[in-house]
Each structure stands twice: as structure tokens, then as C-alpha cells.
Amino acid sequence: MNLDFSPEELAFRDEVRAFIKDNYPAGVREKINRDALAKEDYLAWHKILGKKGWSAPAWPKEYGGTGWTATQRYIWLEENARGETIPPLPFGVSMVGPVIYTFGTPEQKQRFLPGILSGDVWWCQGYSEPGAGSDLASLKTRAVREGDHYIVNGQKTWTTLAQFADWGFFLVRTDPNVKQQEGISFLLIDMKSPGVTVKPIIMLDGGHEVNDVFLDNVKVPVENRIYEENKGWTCAKFLLAHERSGIAGVARSKRQVEKLKAIAKAERADDGRPLIEDEDFTRKIAELEIDLSALEMTELRVLANEQAGKGPGVESSLLKIKGTEIQQRLTELTMEAVGNYAAPYFRGFPAQGTNDFPIGPDYAHQAAPTYFNWRKASIYGGSNEIQRNIIAKMVLGL
Amino acid sequence: MNFDFSEEQNLIRDSIAKWAAAEYDFDKRRAALKAPDGWRKNWATIAELGLLAAPLPEAHGGLGGGPLDVFVVMEEVGKALVVEPYVQTVVLGAGALKLAGSEAQQSEHLPAIASGERIVAFAQAEPKSRWALNDVSTTAKKDGAGYVLNGQKSVVIGGPQADHLLVSARTGGAERDAKGISLFLIPKSLSGVSTRDYPTVDDFSASEIYFENVALGREHLIGAEGEALSTIEQIVDEANAALCAEAVGTLRLQHSLTLEYTRTRKQFGRAIGEFQVIQHRLVDMFMEVEQSMSMALLATLKLDTPERAKHVSAAKVQIGKAVRFVGQSAIQLHGGMGVTDEMRVGHYFKRATMIDAQFGNADHHLKRYMALSRQAA
């Protein structure tokens, strides 16, 4: 066993670091700080990576992956976190893409994978429904076959960034008369189809990030179904396992720890010394770092298993729980660090073209809203309670 | 020993609850927040209900109540998420006058506060002071019979609504000295006072306030020159006790809303409240709410004793712990709905979170508690 990078891996790290430095669009980074991202900002880096052939490192090479080892992918994530890039959104590259290359027909692969790789097609996820959250298999959105089409009716919710989406992947009920899991199909739906309506849900931080999606007699060609009719649950479970393996967010959390330390250096404790010298606060940062270090090592062990062909398994539930707990703790400590300046609320501030000067330090502006917003992390992608059920059942055999 | 609230206190509680149900429900509150002057009507009602007069002396237009009356008001304020600057005006503004104001100053301001004509905001924190009350850089230099005020105050809650400011400023000593701090109660309209107003994340409003060569008269000074720190410490303790009571109101609501939600939300064919993992979480929340109630009450009842500071800090530590655990649990058990703007529970969560950060968070008060314990030993 050996944790050191080889000379080749170090050379790879230098190469990707230089590539990010030379190619990442600076304007996007500024907009993140102002909480003012537009559709093209989310896609900017994705498109650059698409041209380079680096937008989907985890995919098999034959479908457009990079052929990197697990270690190289780890380095890639680290360097992107270091450069604070907006990575390609997960809905295409990490979610529907792997479902399509795993379960799709050759025609479907040819039709949909290139747009995912290039970033030309924006995907969204139609899974949860108002009555089907943790109990996803109880979903009610109905698809009835009529000749070479399905007619789809129902409502999906928590659909992230659907306001920008070109296509969505949906779980729909095609047979209501069998066991719940056995009557679900996986459909790809053009979001411009007549009968699709997207309505915003405003979050606690005031942001519009998720949506309700209403489907009213939407006509979907049968050729847009992935895998067999009524076998959609297989795709769904496969996708959820994939979603979880990226959810630990170790590299990003490590970057956040660095930022938190920088804030603690700039802020003063009550005794006038830098907050970073405050025993209580430093202890909290240290405890967090230790948790994060453990999670990183655990994730590397899981990746090594995956590399050995064992696939993302139930360990991914562990990564999801611990990863989101750490992310949430980071937002909490960041809010705590900024003291009184956590209170002012400036959404999209400062407005462009005004001479308003900001109130308080820049790093404080999003601290409290991020803490509020990030409570979602222990809820989405299968709540942490559900993840514990999975571990209890699948790992511990309870 | 007697744990009963008085008849008057129960009447106060009922009158606020009735008003809140009729005029301050979630939608009306939201509408008032959006209207530029939406708070004015609410402030008038708060005055009519006698809430401003409740803890003020009878000699100056008050009803002669004490900290427990404030407790009752604030618990209801928490339940209704009232955002008008009650603590700033009544606890801090009137509190400083009661402790250190001259007879003339009390007669001038207290009746106006009781009737709702005068709104006071406490201009105390500064950009680098964090929660240290002795860390004051704003200066009031002697100038003839009066003073000249210069400096910046940050995150002054209620600043946009206030017509008067209670300002801590240095009349002597170095930035962090205990001696040399003075309190001034000044009209916001004085020449040289400028403000920048903004909303806060929990729907209050606040200001950054800048003083540039503001000419003050001797009559603006509250108490002895250079000796204000103990007054400031006391009114901040009183404000913290009031905020703890408010927090208890928000915690109670977060718990009851979550209880209701888990009883009605069905997954896997039954109400999620039937799952043991949910039940235990609800029980842990319940225990934190009760512990918080106990500590908020204890702090309130000890406000007029020598152990005031220690009990207030202890309450703030308990509240800091509870707003995290109860708030985070309330959101978690609501699932995605908990993170949306349309559900009430998230608004309680936001307010409770910000109470922890006001006038010292749990860490700050744990340190203070330990220091006070060491001194006593």
C-alpha cells in the first residue's frame, strides 16, 4: 500500500493545474461571488472541457471518457476544487449519461451522448413527486402507451435548474397493477414538448434553484424510453448509486476548509486577536479537518474497490452521509466566523452598474444564506435517514 | 416558589396571540414586509396593546412591569415572528434611560417610547468589534460644552425605523479599555449622521451608521461620562434574556409545526411520525425546547440579582445549542419542503439562527460563563 503520487501522476497534476489556470473563464468566478450566474456561466467550463475531451472522466473511453485511472480522476477533482471551477452539472454527465451508455440502444447512445459530453444539451431530473420523496417507488406520474407514443400526466418536484433544461429524464408509471417497483419506466422527455410547464420553487435563501414540473398530456415517442418498459427502477437504482458516489464532495470541502481558515485569519475574536488563534474556534476547525481526512481516506478505499471492478456499492451511502454532514458543518462554521456581518441580506449584490459599496467583508455576504440553503444536502439524493436504512439493510444485514 | 404568570401577564400573552392570529399571520406579515412602510401600522398596534408601556415605570407613562412581562411579550414575538424593533426600543433604549438617564431625560423619552412615538436603535457594534462590548473605536471628543462624534456602527438592527440612536462612543482611553466609554441618545436626524439601510436574512432591517463630525450637546449624554460599560453590559444582558424568550417562541413553533407535519406526511404507506427514528428525533427536540424554556426563564428571573451575567450567558449557551439542533431537525424532518420559502418552519429556523449570533453566540457566552465562574471561585 502506498499513498504517494508516482512521477507520472505528479506530471499529470501539473498538466491539469496549468490547463485550468490557462483556460478557466475568469468572469464566471466573479459572478459566483455575486450569486449572479446565468445559464451560459454554468456551461462555460463544461463546453471548454467538452472540446478538450475531459468533460466526463468517469465514462468508459469508448463513449467519450478520458480513460484516466481512479487516481487521475481524484487529482482532477482536487485541481478543479483548487481552481474553484463550476464542474459540469451532474444531471447529464453523472446521472443520465451513465444510464444511457449502460442501458440504452446503440441509436440512443449515438443520439444523446454527444450533447451531454459537449455541454450543448442541458438535462434535468424528474424523479421526486409531491407524494413520492423518500418513498420514490410510490411515484404516480402516469405514462399510457398509445401506438408509438406515451401520453404522460403528472407532477415532478425538486427538479434542479429545470428552468434552463433542454431535456429531462423521468421516472413514470407504465403499469399501475403490479408491485410498485415493477411498473416504472425511464423516459427521456424534450422539455419543449407541449404540455410541459416549469414553475419555480423559491428556497430559504431566496434563490430559484429548484422547480415543480407539470406534465399535461405530454406526447413522448416510445423510442425515448431507456431500457425495457416497466424496468425503469433498475435504471433508477443504478443512477442513485452513481449520484451518491460524487456526493461526498471531499475536494470541494477541503477547499472550503482553506477558505474558512482565511476568514478566521481576517476576523477578530472578542479578545482582539485573530479568530484563528481562538482556542474554541480552532478546535472546531481541527475536528472538522479530522472528519474530512477520515472521509477522504474512506473514499479512496471505496474508489480502489471500484477500480477493482466491484462498482459503486452501498459504501456510497456512507460517503453521502458523512460528506453532506461535513459540508453542512462547514457552512455553519463559516457563518459563525463572520459574526455580526452574517445578518445583512444581499441577494445578487452589488447590483451591476450601481455605485453601492458592499456592507461588511466580501466573504460574509453569502455565509448565512449558504448555511440555510445547504440544509438541503442531508435531504436530497435520498435523505440521510434513507441512506442509514440502506446501510442497515445492505451492509449490516439488519 | 411559584411558577405562575400573573393575570396581567396572561392577558398580555392572549392579546398578542389574538393580534398575531388576526393581523400578523404568515401572509399579512409577508405583505407588510414588502410594503415600504408596512411596519408602521404594526408598531401602532404594538403600542395600543400596551406592549411598549408594559415594562416602563408608571411615573413615565408605563405600566410598571418588569422582566417577566418582557419575557411573555418576547415569547409571543418569537411565535409570530414579529420583526418590529421591540427589543431595541424597549429593552435597550428605555433600559439605558431607566438605568442611567436623568429625570429630565426619562421624562423626555420614556412617555414617547411608551406611546409608540419614539423608536430607538442601539448603535453599538463596529466593523471589527465582534461581540466585545468594550471594543469601541467611535469617538466623542469634548468640544466646548458638548462633544463631536465620529465613527462607524455596523448592523444596527431597527436602524431604518428608528428616529433616535443609542450610541456607544469613546470619550477617553484606548480602543479596548473598559473605562472611557460613554452612551449618547441622539436624534438620527442630526447633521453628520448618515445611514445605509438593508434587510437582514431573517426579515429584520438594519443600518450601517456613519458619524461625521456630529455635534452633540451635553443633554445627549446618558449617565456619567466614561462610565457607561456597566450600563451597556446590563442592557445587553437584558436584551439577551429577551432574545432567549423570543428564541423559545421560535423553537416551540418549529417543534409543533414539525410534529404536525410528521403526523400528516405519508411515505411507505404510513405517517412518517410512526417511524421510530423520527419519533426519537422529535423527542430530542422536545427536550431541547423545554431545557431552553427553563434557562430563558431562569435568566429572566435573575436579571435583577448579582448573578445576572452568569445566568444570561448560561441561557444563551443553551439557546445556541437548541437553535441548531431543533432548527436543523425541523428542516430535516420536513424534507425538501423545509428548505422552501413557502413553509413557515424555515422562517423560524432563520430567525432562531440569527438570535444565536446577536450579542454573542454560544461560544462567546460559554467563555464568559467560565470566566465568571473562575472569578467567583
Tell me the shortest Cα–Cα distance from B197 to chain A, in angstroms: 10
Q: Which of B127, B341, B363 sits opposite A206 (nearest CB)?
A: B341
The interface residues of chain B toward chain A in range 285-344, judged by CB-CB distance below 8 A, are 324, 328, 331-332, 335-336, 338-342
User: How much of chain B, in percent, has pLDDT values that exceed 90?
Assistant: 98
Residue of A nearest to B360 (CA): A339
A370 touches chain B (CB under 8 A): no
A11 touches chain B (CB under 8 A): no
**Interface with A, mutate which of B88, B276, B339 (most A CBs under 10 A):** B339
Query: Mean pLDDT, chain B, as a whole number?
Result: 97
pLDDT tens profile A322-346: 999 999 999 999 999 999 999 999 8
Q: Which of A308-312, B5-9, B261-265 is the least confident region?
A: A308-312
Could you write out the three-class secondary structure of chain B?
CCCCCCHHHHHHHHHHHHHHHHHCCHHHHHHHHHCCCHHHHHHHHHHHCCCCCCCCCHHHCCCCCCHHHHHHHHHHHHHHCCCCCHHHHHHHHHHHHHHHCCHHHHHHHHHHHHHCCCCEEEECCCCCCCCCCCCCCCEEEEECCEEEEEEEEEEEECCCCCCEEEEEEECCCCCCCCCCEEEEEEECCCCCEEEEEEEECCCCEEEEEEEEEEEECHHHEECCCCECHHHHHHHHHHHHHHHHHHHHHHHHHHHHHHHHHHHHCEECCEEHHHCHHHHHHHHHHHHHHHHHHHHHHHHHHCCCCCCHHHHHHHHHHHHHHHHHHHHHHHHHHHHHHHHECCCHHHHHHHHHHHHHHCCCCHHHHHHHHHHHHHHHC
Cβ pair B247, B355 in contact under 8 A: yes
pLDDT tens profile B30-86: 999 988 888 999 999 999 999 999 999 999 999 999 999 999 999 999 999 999 999
Q: How far apart are CA B149 and CA B167, in angstroms?
A: 10
Q: Is the pLDDT of residue A90 over 70?
A: yes
Cβ pair B315, B295 in contact under 8 A: yes
pLDDT of residue A92: 96
Cβ pair B372, B313 in contact under 8 A: yes
Contact B357 A336 (CB under 8 A): yes
pLDDT tens profile A218-238: 999 999 999 999 999 999 988
Cα distances (angstroms) measured from residue B28 to each of A73, B12, B197, B353: 52, 21, 23, 23
pLDDT of residue B223: 98
Q: Is the pLDDT of residue B181 over 70?
A: yes
pLDDT of residue A198: 98
Q: What is the mean pLDDT of residues A118-143?
A: 97
Q: Is the pLDDT of residue B12 over 60?
A: yes
Which residues of chain B lie closer than 8 angstroms to A135, CB-CB? 267-268
Q: Which CATH architecture does the domain made up of A7-88 adopt?
A: Orthogonal Bundle (1.10)
Cβ pair A208, A163 in contact under 8 A: yes
Neighbours of A208 (CB within 10 A): 12
Q: Which of B125, B336, B350 sits opposite A379 (nearest CB)?
A: B336
Q: Residues spanned by CATH 1.10.540.10 within chain A?
A: 7-88
CA-based nearest residue to A31, from A326, A256, A366: A366
Q: What is the mean pLDDT of residues A68-89?
A: 91
Could you write out the three-class secondary structure of B88-113?
HHHHHHHHHHHHHCCHHHHHHHHHHH
The x, y and z cell numbers of residue A263, run together, are 476568514
Q: Is the pLDDT of residue A130 over 60?
A: yes
Tell me the shortest Cα–Cα distance from B98 to chain A, in angstroms: 27
pLDDT of residue A41: 92
The interface residues of chain A toward chain B in range 113-132, judged by CB-CB distance below 8 A, are 128, 131-132
Tell me the shortest Cα–Cα distance from A265 to chain B, in angstroms: 13
| Contacts by A284-287, CB closer than 8 A, 24 or more apart | A284/A333, A285/A257, A285/A260, A285/A261, A285/A333
Q: Could you tell me the pLDDT band of residue A246, with boundaries at 50, 70 and 90?
A: low
H-assigned helices in A174-278: 232-245, 250-266
Strand partners, B71: none
A105 touches chain B (CB under 8 A): no
The x, y and z cell numbers of residue B334, run together, are 420536513
Q: Residues spanned by CATH 1.20.140.10 within chain A?
A: 246-395
pLDDT of residue A383: 95
Q: How far apart are CA A152 and CA A189, in angstroms?
A: 10
Q: Which of B268, B346, B354 sits opposite A343 (nearest CB)?
A: B354
pLDDT of residue A128: 97
CA-based nearest residue to A380, from A80, A136, A99: A136
Tell me the shortest Cα–Cα distance from A267 to chain B, in angstroms: 8
Q: What is the mean pLDDT of residues A311-331?
A: 89
The conformation of residue A166, written as its DSSP 8-state character, comes to: S
Q: How far apart are CA A267 and CA B173, in angstroms?
A: 23
pLDDT of residue A70: 84
* Residue predicted with more confidence, A120 or A353: A120
Q: How far apart are CA B281 and CA B259, in angstroms?
A: 10
Contact B363 A336 (CB under 8 A): yes
Q: Residues spanned by CATH 2.40.110.10 within chain A?
A: 123-230
Parallel/antiparallel/unpaired status of strands B164-170 and B120-123: parallel
The interface residues of chain B toward chain A in range 356-375, judged by CB-CB distance below 8 A, are 357, 360-361, 363-364, 366-367
ipTM higher than the 0.85 cut: yes
Query: Mean pLDDT, chain A, as a whole number?
Result: 92
What residue ranges define each of the domains in chain B, with the CATH number in brackets?
7-117 (1.10.540.10), 121-227 (2.40.110.10), 230-376 (1.20.140.10)
CA-based nearest residue to B288, from B257, B247, B238: B247
A329 touches chain B (CB under 8 A): no
Contact A343 B176 (CB under 8 A): no
The interface residues of chain B toward chain A in range 98-127, judged by CB-CB distance below 8 A, are 125, 127
The beta strand positions in chain A, using DSSP E, are: 123-126, 142-146, 149-156, 167-173, 184-190, 196-202, 208-221, 225-226
Q: Could you tell me the pLDDT band of residue A247, with boundaries at 50, 70 and 90?
A: confident
The interface residues of chain B toward chain A in range 232-291, judged by CB-CB distance below 8 A, are 266-268, 272, 277-278
- Residue whose cell numbers read 414579529: B82
User: How much of chain A, in percent, has pLDDT values that exceed 90?
Assistant: 80
Strand partners, A169: A125, A188
Which residues of chain B lie closer than 8 angstroms to A271, CB-CB? 132
Q: Could you tell me the pLDDT band of residue B376, with boundaries at 50, 70 and 90?
A: confident
pLDDT of residue B266: 97
Q: What is the dihedral angle through the alpha carbons of A323, A125, A23, A374, rounded to the nearest 10 degrees?
A: -40
Q: What is the dihedral angle through the alpha carbons of B80, B360, B239, B127, rounded to the nearest 10 degrees?
A: -100
pLDDT of residue A312: 62
Q: How far apart are CA A118 and CA A378, in angstroms?
A: 31
Which DSSP string do the residues of A342-370 spell out, in sequence order?
Answer: GSB--TTPSPTT--PPPSS-GGGTTHHHH
| 3-state SS, residue A178 | coil
Q: Is the pLDDT of residue A395 over 90?
A: no
The interface residues of chain A toward chain B in range 215-254, judged by CB-CB distance below 8 A, are none
Q: Is the pLDDT of residue A156 over 70?
A: yes
Does domain A123-230 correspond to CATH entry 2.40.110.10?
Answer: yes
Q: Is the pLDDT of residue A352 over 60?
A: no
Topology adopted by domain A246-395: Butyryl-CoA Dehydrogenase, subunit A; domain 3 (1.20.140)
Q: Which of A202, A268, A380 sits opposite B341 (nearest CB)?
A: A202
Q: How far apart are CA A89 and CA A42, in angstroms?
A: 8
Upper half-sphere CA count for residue A319 (Cβ side, 13 Å): 27
Contact B200 A344 (CB under 8 A): yes
Q: Is the pLDDT of residue B232 over 60?
A: yes
pTM of the model: 0.95
Contact A272 B201 (CB under 8 A): no
pLDDT tens profile A10-44: 999 999 999 999 999 988 877 776 667 889 999 99
- Residue whose cell numbers read 424496468: A231
Q: How far apart are CA B214 and CA B198, in angstroms?
A: 23
Q: What is the mean pLDDT of residues B354-372?
A: 97
Q: Is the pLDDT of residue B321 over 70?
A: yes
pLDDT of residue A348: 55
pLDDT of residue A221: 98
